[in-house]
Chains A and B, each alone.
With several copies, the nearest count.
Chain A
Amino acid sequence: MKKQQILQWLQAFATEIEQNKDYLTQLDAAIGDADHGMNMSRGFQKATASLASVADKDIGTILKTVSMTLISSVGGASGPLYGTFFLRASTVITGKHELTEEDMLEMLQAGLDGVLQRGKAQLGDKTMIDVLSPAVTAFSQAVGEGKGMHEAMQLAVAKAEQSMKNTIPMIAKKGRASYLGERSVGNQDPGATSSYLMLKCLLETL
């Protein structure tokens, strides 16, 4: 994956968020505080605006810039989580202008680990982890089986979509939805949804 595609991906994700802003907020209204769409929109509008100044830098610098913008402009839970995702992702690919399948895997895995460490959520807690973790596993497996970038990402995104829907019956254990206990059942997690959209845009840019 070329640097240009990384920039396209971030741009596409920002656009996707704008299109799904109300939808994400609606999901958050049901089991949270009705701001996930706004939070993501605020962050990625600023993040993409900051890309121009680093477009000629390496992918690591680009992702780090995104990370810093998210951390200082989003707030809430998604700010530090997505911020940490991009921060950790950036550190393992410093200096690169193109990513192999292995780079991509390392990047996604580092991002996921960062989110796990920052948020302390586990699989099944009804958070973005429930999309990111199975998707990274699927990608890892596909790459292990020698599949190419596109096919591996296709499998990862299919898994992500399925996993996003799997959050519906879960009882939330982390984040705001956890205050609802049993009442969180029956609603799809907003953060899981935005994480799926992020991966979907990544696939579409490949």
Chain B
Amino acid sequence: MKKLINAPVDFVRESLEGMAVAHPDLIKVHHDPTFIYRTDAPKHGKVAIVSGGGSGHEPMHGGFVGIGMLDAACPGEVFTSPTPDQMLEAAKKVDGGAGILYIVKNYSGDIMNFEMATELARSEGIRVLNILIDDDVAVKDSLYTQGRRGVGTTVLAEKICGAATEQGYDLQRVASLCRRVNLNGRSMGIALTSCTVPAKGTPTFALGDREVEMGIGIHGEPGRERMSIKSADEIAQMLAMSIIEDISYSRTVREWDEDKGEWVDVELMNHAFEKGDKVLAFVNSMGGTPLSELYIIYRQLVEVCEKHSLQIVRNLIGPYMTSLDMQGCSITLLKLDDEMIQLWDAPVKTPSLRWGI
């Protein structure tokens, strides 16, 4: 393993320390427990958005803390969900009295830890709701299983919901917006190489010189299928088609019910894309794939979307949700409505996403 790191055990902390000194105007990093928060938090009267998850996906989530996006982010160890005390302390720090939305990716670890944090925060009198992101169409089954992973749509939900909180949306309204974004988003990824977790020191999986993993997640977990490498156009088509052809998908998720004061099972349904839909197209690098290649994928994605009468009205192209040094990419398509477009366009100023300000 060759990486620009010191001792692997210090990887996450040192990276956060670097981030803190790089962007003191935007963020602060709290240690023990670890979380990143807006320098100007708490914003009185504003709903605060807190997300988090394992480290190794930089800039997600810490790089999205700032004006118009996240109020705080809780980084765990590499690929390991953060702990409830991180989430609780982050919530306390950024609570402006209007409540907290936890945006949670659908992994058993993240869910359990965020659920515990929700219970703890509620018991301390902080209003918390949690919304799950589960958009990875590589995962097929939903009945009796963990369901789909949370991937690319997370970044888009954080941007859109962050903008909504700046515009004064209340907690329930931000939560429904976030749920809607999740239900409108679908993703699919491919790995050309495995990532190498610093503490492990060797690649998580081994791929031959002409092999790729289709349908991977963002933790070096193997994908659905190993196949021989194809052209960028074929890969873009395969990724895009598995998203476009994904039929309506329903599952049950647990959300906190404020009226009942307990967890309730909520039945949710994604509807398949339809001709004429306006979409945001997000082509994401897994960390080791350069921008030049992402544009080649995007070029074909535009053709596929045109062919299926999906109208790309916004895009995002770059390394926003990575898997350490993995080479590969993911595509996310998010169906947009006017409200979402306006919120997407709203100003954002974070270390890794910035416009309009």
- Say if the two chains contact directly (CB < 8 Å): yes
**Using a CB–CB distance below 8 Å, which chain A residues touch chain B?**
25, 29-35, 38-39, 42, 71-81, 118-119, 122, 125, 173-176, 178-181, 183
In this complex, the member of A30, A34, A38, A75 whose beta carbon has the largest number of chain B beta carbons within 10 angstroms is: A75
| B213 CB to nearest A CB, Å | 10
Q: Do the beta carbons of A174 and B80 come within 8 Å of each other?
A: no
CB contacts (< 8 Å) of A80 on chain B: these are 84, 109, 112-113, 116
| A81-B146 contact, Cβ under 8 Å, with A42-B77, A75-B83 | no
**Min distance, Cβ A39 to any Cβ of chain B, angstroms:** 6
Q: Which residue of B lies closest to A173 (CB)?
A: B145
Check B200–A29 contact: CB distance below 8 A.
yes
Chain B 91-117, CB within 8 Å of chain A: the 1/0 string?
000000000000000011100110010
Residues of A within 8 A of B33 (CB): 72
Within the assembled complex, what's the spacing in Å between the Cα atoms of A35 and B199?
8
In angstroms, Cα B82 to Cα A39, docked, is 11
Query: B149 at interface (Cβ–Cβ under 8 A)?
Result: yes
B112 proximity list for chain A (CB < 8 A): 77, 79-81, 118-119
Which residues 59-86 in B have Cβ within 8 Å of A in the complex?
Answer: 76-85
Task: Given the known inter-chain contacts A119-B112, A179-B138, A180-B222, please indicate yes or no for A75 contacting B77, CB distance below 8 A.
Answer: yes
**Cβ A33 vs Cβ B145 within 8 A:** no
Q: Size range of the interface on B?
A: 35 or more
Q: Which residues from 132 to 163 on chain B have a C-beta closer than 8 Å to any C-beta of chain A?
A: 136, 138-141, 144-146, 149
List 21 A-B residue pairs with CB atoms under 8 Å apart, sorted by A's residue number.
A34-B197, A34-B200, A34-B204, A35-B77, A39-B77, A39-B80, A71-B83, A72-B85, A75-B77, A76-B76, A77-B109, A78-B109, A173-B144, A173-B146, A175-B108, A176-B219, A178-B145, A179-B149, A179-B217, A181-B224, A183-B224
Asked whether, in the complex, the Cβ of A76 is within 8 Å of the Cβ of B224, the reply is no
A75 touches B146 (CB 8 A): no
B107 surroundings in chain A (CB, below 8 A): 77, 176
Chain B min CB distance to A35 (Å): 5
B221 on the A face (CB < 8 A): yes
Chain B residues with CB under 8 Å of A72's CB are 33, 83-85
For the complex, what is the distance from the CA of A173 to the CA of B81, rounded to whole Å? Answer: 19
Closest to A68 in B: B85
Q: Contact string, B201-221, partner A, CB cutoff 8 A, digits 1/0?
A: 000110000000000010111
How far is A80 from B222 in the complex, measured between Cα atoms in Å?
24
A38 touches B77 (CB 8 A): yes
Question: How distant is the Cα of A33 from the Cα of B220 in the complex, in angstroms?
Answer: 6
A35 proximity list for chain B (CB < 8 A)? 77-80, 197, 199-200
The answer, among A78, A81, A118, A180, for a CB contact under 8 Å with B221, is A180
Decide: A76 near B109, CB < 8 A? Known: A35-B77, A173-B146, A176-B221.
yes
